[in-house]
């Protein structure tokens, strides 16, 4: 199930750099075991204290969190890292606390500094720390000159009290299980694994399990804003980061500074509506891929869009009955793994599409080894079978708390039949992706609803017309919901709009962040 997840390497230009920088990442020891009593006060540090007004009088019990200082220390090159203390449960702020990992790259020109720009790469489950380490690539120089670029791992993610669910071997099993079950035995298997996943999260992360929702993360962001010494939050959120940003704007509208929401999510959608939209989005993206493939000399598909899509569908159907050999006897490429691999490489043309052509050529000849290696790379699974981050667990744990609808196996089967009519390639597979939620042991803490965030300044919402993971209508909807929403459209393929090849889009976003002047509402970039 993809939900809102950006692939592990957030942008094609970052791929090699992000992987290399990850090796030199911040040394953080915040784990589930680091939940502590709030009786230990945050350590004093060198950053500027937040203003007294940062601690809302209605939340007096949170004053100690809002007035903490961050203890910055060098963590590789010009980067500094610190831990931010937040309450585990905002309904009990005097109880247990957790530590969030934070990283910053300071501006090179303090005389022009506007404050901090907090980045979130999406997910849920994406590491903002890792993303900010690539700040010199993912953010334009003009923006870096006026902001300290800051990344943080949201609660439950990476170095910030990471939620833990299945072990590596059982994650392999979950990834491989039939994603479009069509026999009672297959339904029973996917149901059992979905139940196992949900219960493993509760068993292995009992204290965090109920407290990793987006609303909790948004409250953490406000404490981070105060600890950074900023009166207002300047935010650049991509994909799921748009939902986190919009939620922050709803909770704290008067504290919103310059906010970019790129690859926007419509917060009024249910789990089922989100999945239906993504199924249609990925089917459209596959069509675009096949159309492009027909123009490439190395295209392994038969000529013609319909013929190319049909060839991929036949490959999916063949792998359902007979998984492709990969050279790894323990891990043949099942239909679900094959579909996941193809989905994962529809995000960022042209680099993803080139790799996908290569993988499909081998798979069509009966060899799944290349697509398996591609899937492992995207999921950051190493040759020893170890998943290098907990993004998969966090993806489910956060989404489980953010929306109230939780389809059962019988409901998922009915949805699969409906989705297949609207999205013939990926509809069935994605329809079953919400099943683990039906076994979640705690209720959601939010009901999907439009977000107006009345009281903010202009918020820039960016949508890409053929975005598969966050379909363009979602950006249109969010821009209309927000009281001060401004819609910027990139006409093109791929997930999100910034630094995806459109100089018009990049200039509009950079100008807004540097000057505060948004483009005209409805601006279209090609």
Task: For the chain, give the percent of residues with pLDDT over 90.
Answer: 87
Q: Are residues 100 and 231 in the same domain?
A: yes
Q: What is the pLDDT of residues 375-385, one digit of tens each?
A: 999 999 999 99
Q: Are residues 225 and 299 in the same domain?
A: no
Asked if the structure places residue 180 within a domain, the reply is no
Q: Is 438 a catalytic residue?
A: no
pLDDT for res 16: 23
Q: pLDDT grade, residue 59 (50/70/90)? A: low
C-alpha distances (whole Å) from 4 to each of 26, 121, 333 are 26, 11, 24
**What are residue 233's DSSP bridge partners?**
256
Does the pLDDT of residue 49 top 70, yes or no?
Answer: no
Asked if the structure places residue 309 within a domain, the reply is yes
Eight-class DSSP state of 370: H
Asked if the structure places residue 390 within a domain, the reply is no
pLDDT for res 154: 98
Q: Are residues 496 and 422 in the same domain?
A: no
The Cα 474–Cα 485 span in angstroms is 13
Asked if the structure places residue 222 within a domain, the reply is yes
Q: Are residues 330 and 372 in the same domain?
A: yes
> How far, rounded to the nearest angstrom, does the alpha carbon of residue 419 sit from its chain's CA centroid?
23
Catalytic residue, candidates 230, 376, 495, 510 = 495
Does the pLDDT of residue 39 top 90, yes or no?
Answer: no
Q: Is 449 a catalytic residue?
A: no
Does the pLDDT of residue 507 top 50, yes or no?
Answer: yes
pLDDT for res 60: 77
Does the pLDDT of residue 230 top 50, yes or no?
Answer: yes
Does the pLDDT of residue 26 top 80, yes or no?
Answer: no
Residue 466: which CATH number?
3.40.50.1820
Q: What is the pLDDT of residues 232-281, one digit of tens each?
A: 999 999 999 999 999 999 999 999 999 999 999 999 999 999 999 999 99
Q: Are residues 422 and 460 in the same domain?
A: no
Range 11-15 average pLDDT? 25
Does the pLDDT of residue 32 top 60, yes or no?
Answer: no
Range 78-85 average pLDDT? 98
The Cα 169–Cα 164 span in angstroms is 14
Does the pLDDT of residue 422 top 90, yes or no?
Answer: yes
pLDDT for res 330: 86
Asked if the structure places residue 393 within a domain, the reply is no
Range 145-173 average pLDDT? 97
pLDDT for res 485: 98
Range 120-147 average pLDDT? 97
Does the pLDDT of residue 9 top 80, yes or no?
Answer: no
Tokens of 486: 């401004």
Does the pLDDT of residue 18 top 70, yes or no?
Answer: no
C-alpha distances (whole Å) from 138 to each of 112, 120, 242, 494 are 20, 11, 17, 16
Does the pLDDT of residue 423 top 70, yes or no?
Answer: yes
Q: Is 239 a catalytic residue?
A: yes
Count how many domains the chain has.
2
The Cα 188–Cα 194 span in angstroms is 10
pLDDT for res 150: 98
Catalytic residue, candidates 47, 116, 127, 239 = 239
Q: Identify the CA nearest to 121 among candidates 285, 9, 212, 277.
A: 9
Which region among 46-60, 249-263, 472-486 has the lowest average model confidence (pLDDT)?
46-60
pLDDT for res 328: 85
Residue 82 — φ and ψ, nearest 5°? -155, 165
Domain that holds residue 316: 271-379+405-439
Catalytic residue, candidates 83, 153, 164, 467 = 467
Does the pLDDT of residue 462 top 90, yes or no?
Answer: yes
Q: Are residues 357 and 465 in the same domain?
A: no
* Whether the Cβ atoms of residue 142 and residue 514 lie closer than 8 Å to each other: yes
pLDDT for res 50: 39
Q: Are residues 253 and 221 in the same domain?
A: yes
């Amino acid at each position: 199930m993809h939900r809102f997840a950006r692939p592990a390497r957030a942008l094609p230009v970052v791929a090699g750099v992000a992987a290399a920088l990850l090796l030199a990442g911040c040394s953080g020891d915040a784990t589930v075991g680091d939940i502590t009593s709030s009786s230990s006060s945050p350590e004093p540090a060198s950053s500027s204290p937040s203003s007294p007004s940062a601690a809302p009088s209605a939340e007096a019990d949170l004053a100690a969190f809002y007035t903490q200082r961050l203890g910055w220390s060098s963590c590789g090159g010009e980067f500094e890292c610190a831990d931010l203390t937040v309450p585990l449960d905002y309904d009990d702020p005097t109880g247990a606390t957790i530590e969030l990992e934070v990283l910053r790259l300071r501006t090179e020109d303090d005389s022009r500094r506007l404050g901090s720009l907090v980045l979130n790469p999406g997910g849920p489950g994406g590491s903002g720390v890792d993303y900010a380490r690539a700040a010199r690539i993912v953010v334009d120089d003009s923006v870096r000159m006026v902001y300290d670029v800051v990344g943080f791992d949201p609660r439950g993610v990476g170095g910030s009290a990471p939620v833990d669910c299945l072990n590596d071997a059982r994650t392999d099993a979950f990834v491989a299980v039939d994603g479009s079950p069509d026999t009672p035995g297959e339904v029973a298997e996917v149901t059992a694994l979905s139940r196992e996943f949900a219960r493993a999260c509760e068993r292995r992360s009992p204290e965090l399990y109920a407290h990793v929702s987006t609303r909790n993360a948004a409250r953490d962001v406000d404490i981070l804003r105060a600890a950074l010494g900023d009166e207002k939050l300047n935010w650049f959120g991509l994909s799921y980061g748009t939902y986190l940003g919009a939620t922050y704007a709803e909770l704290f509208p008067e504290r919103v500074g310059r906010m970019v929401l790129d690859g926007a999510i419509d917060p009024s959608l249910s789990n089922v509506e989100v999945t239906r939209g993504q199924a249609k989005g990925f089917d459209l993206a596959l069509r675009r891929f096949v159309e492009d493939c027909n123009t490439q000399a190395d295209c392994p598909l038969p000529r013609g869009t319909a013929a190319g899509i049909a060839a991929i569908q036949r490959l999916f159907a063949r792998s359902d009955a007979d998984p492709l050999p990969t050279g790894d006897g323990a891990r043949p490429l099942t239909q679900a793994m094959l579909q996941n691999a193809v989905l994962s490489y529809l995000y960022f043309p042209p680099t993803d599409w080139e790799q996908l052509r290569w993988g499909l050529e081998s798979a069509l000849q009966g060899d799944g080894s290349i697509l398996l290696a591609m899937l492992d790379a995207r999921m950051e699974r190493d040759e020893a079978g170890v998943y290098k981050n907990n993004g998969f667990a966090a993806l489910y744990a956060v989404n489980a708390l953010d929306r109230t609808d939780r389809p059962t196996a019988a409901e998922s089967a009915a949805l699969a039949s409906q989705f297949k009519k609207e999205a013939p390639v990926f509809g069935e597979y994605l329809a079953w992706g919400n099943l683990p939620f039906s076994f979640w042991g705690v209720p959601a803490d939010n009901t999907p609803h439009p977000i107006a965030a009345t009281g903010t300044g202009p918020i820039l919402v960016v949508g890409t017309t053929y975005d598969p993971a966050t379909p363009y209508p979602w950006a249109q909807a969010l821009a209309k919901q927000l009281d001060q929403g401004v819609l910027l459209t990139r006409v093109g393929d791929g997930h999100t709009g910034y630094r995806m090849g459109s100089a018009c889009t990049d200039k509009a976003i950079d100008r807004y962040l540097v000057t505060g002047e948004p483009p005209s509402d409805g601006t279209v970039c090609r």
